[in-house]
Amino acid sequence: MALAFQHTNRALFVRIASVVLIWFLLVLGGSLLGTFAQSPLVFYLIVGGPVVLYVAGYLLSDTFRRFVGSLVGDPFGITALQVYRVLGVSMAIQALKGALPAVFGLPAGFGDLFIGLTALLAAAAFASGTTSGKIVFVLWNVLGLLDLLIAVSTAALAASLLAGPVTMAPMRLYPLSLVPAFGVPLAFILHFTGLAQLWSLSSQKGGNSSHQAALV
């Protein structure tokens, strides 16, 4: 039974990894070909589409919710994965060099750096199994989501109301376009999934406790 469960988990992991790899390759191809620079609409769809589909699937489909709850088994793995967010500091570096608007690049870049550097700490906090550890885990995810929302908001401001001589154009060109076109939606999905898994695990424990109390 245990071997069958491990085999199922391994097969699920391979399928998920394959989907993420194909997603990344499509984004990489669009970035290298200059598709995002030539068509802003395609760029915005690539950035927001996966998030909208994922959240809609979770809210509207019981099957998808159960699937999300089963991913990785607990939130530790997908939290540790967010170490990759340290790469977002490239936006702060470009802002300091004058290649990106500071109002966008500095908070987005340093925010990503902070989330990436603390990802393993948040994962360890959850793994501790303590109430304080879960609180730290939730706060870290909330901060990570706020960082993404701030990045999107300041990007919109820098591209419109605060538009100046330094533009957001480099964010639609390789290699920086990989950050908003792949890194941002992936980070949002990982945060959302981590919190959803925590909720699912808490609900299961609450249900088991109620069932045991009823038997007593």
Q: Is 130 exposed, middle or buried (0-12, 13-18, 19+ CB in 10 A)?
A: exposed
Return the pLDDT at 182.
97
Greater confidence (137 vs 203) lies with 137
pLDDT digits over 27-55, tens only?
Answer: 999 999 999 999 999 999 999 999 999 99
**CB burial readout 155-188, b (16+ within 10 A) else e:** beebbeeeeeebebebbbebebbbbbbbbbbbbb
Greater confidence (19 vs 75) lies with 19
Return the pLDDT at 204.
63
What sections of 118-183 are H helices per DSSP?
119-127, 131-159, 178
12-18: average pLDDT: 81
Lowest-pLDDT range of 37-41, 58-62, 157-161: 157-161
Does the structure show a pLDDT above 60 at 77? yes
**Average pLDDT score, the chain:** 87
Q: Give the model's confidence band at 3: pLDDT under 50 very low, under 70 low, under 90 confident, else very high.
A: very low
Q: Which of 115, 15, 117, 124 is nearest to 67 (CA)?
A: 15
Q: Are 87 and 182 in contact (CB under 8 A)?
A: no
183-191: average pLDDT: 96
143-161: average pLDDT: 93
135-161: average pLDDT: 94
117-144: average pLDDT: 95
- 3 torsion bin: left (phi>0), alpha (psi -120 to 50), beta (else): alpha
Q: Are 22 and 50 in contact (CB under 8 A)?
A: no
pLDDT digits over 79-95, tens only?
Answer: 999 999 999 999 999 99
Greater confidence (69 vs 105) lies with 105
